[in-house]
Amino acid sequence: MRKTKTIETSNKVSVNAETLAKILDCGRSTAAKIGEAAGARFQIGKRVLYKMDKIEKYLDGLAEQEAEKNGVM
């Protein structure tokens, strides 16, 4: 059986779209859309990266909104 590949996210400041997709367990296109929506995208030369702290804040905000909408909080 193959070992599951894990990605350590606690020390990542920024990641590319492929790594972000692995972290979020989604496709590359969806990860890029989330990065754009979070305002986490930045570019150095031709390389596009996404700031993990902004991604985390964005997803936390979405989760809070959904919890309030469903009356969980």
pLDDT per position as a tens digit, 3-49: 766 666 668 899 999 999 999 999 999 999 999 999 999 999 999 99
User: d(Cα 12, Cα 38) in Å, to the nearest integer?
Assistant: 17
> Is 53's pLDDT higher than 80?
yes
Q: What is the pLDDT of residue 12?
A: 87
Q: How confident is the model at residue 69 (pLDDT cuts 50, 70, 90)?
A: confident
Give this prediction's pTM.
Answer: 0.80
Task: Report helix, strand or coil for 38.
Answer: coil
Looking up tokens 């596009």 gives 48
Instruction: Record the tokens describing residue 7, joined without a space.
Output: 């990605």
Between 73 and 51, where is the model more confident? 51
